[in-house]
Chain A
Amino acid sequence: QLQLQESGPGLVKPSETLSLTCNVSGGSITSSSYYWAWIRQPPGKGLEWVGSISYGENTYYNPSLRSRISISADTSKNRFSLKVMSVTAADTAVYYCARHHTTLAGRYFGLWGRGTLVTVSS
């Protein structure tokens, strides 16, 4: 059974870089059928797709965040990571990682981690 688990600091100072990792167990991130995604949700607000990375390590980013984010994968450790640079309070959110199905049979987020709250505050 594939599982995803987010990890990283729960508190980041303004202007610094937020770094999160999603550890994937029970399956490999090198499957060509899936991308691997980050999605976030500010407190009391809706969900926002942040970006995704493919098996070939092609990356796809939310245009509104593209200038500040980076997603990478470490296939040797079966995990992928998110960096958000120059954070502000607006980046405070629960961050979810998810398996992103990307075939003609469907493009959707099929499996989610539990999420981790990151607060940006001095």
Chain B
Amino acid sequence: QTVVTQEPSVSVSPGGTVTLTCGLRSGSVSTSYHPSWYQQTPGQAPRTLMYNTNTRSSGVPDRFSGSILGNKAALTITGAQADDESDYYCVLYMGSGISVFGGGTTLTVL
């Protein structure tokens, strides 16, 4: 059973920069896993933020960026705003049609 790891919770000050990561319990994440990121606020459907590691989905502000940092995929928010306070999920493509979600990170802006 593949396990995709994310920080359960992270906090950032308004205007600050924060990086969320997406890793594998066993192994390193590379671009071949096609990392993607999703933002979800309570009661709402997820919103696609980033795909193919670092391509922003339509309408996503450029203060969101994606990368590979070390052995993990990363989502960086530069200049955090109050409405960035959400749950963030990553997905890795494992091959053979299989996708796996991370457990999600709750971001608090305070």
Contacts and interface: CB of A to CB of B under 8 A. Distances in A.
Interface residues of B, number: 25
Given A60-B96, A114-B45, A109 B91 contact: yes
A107 interface: yes
Contacts of A100: 99
Contacts, number: 69
Interface string A28-48: 000000010101000000111
A34 to B, nearest CB: 13
A96 B45 contact: yes
A26 B98 CA distance: 27
Interface in A49-74: 49, 52, 58, 60, 62-64
A47 B89 contact: yes
Nearest to B40: A47
Interface residues of A, number: 27
* Interface of B: prevailing SS: strand
Given A47-B38, A64-B1, A108 B104 contact: no
Given A96-B46, A112-B45, A106 B55 contact: yes
A46 B52 contact: no
B48 A112 contact: yes
A45 B51 CA distance: 23
Nearest to B102: A46
Nearest to A99: B48
Nearest to B34: A107
A83 interface: no
A90 interface: no
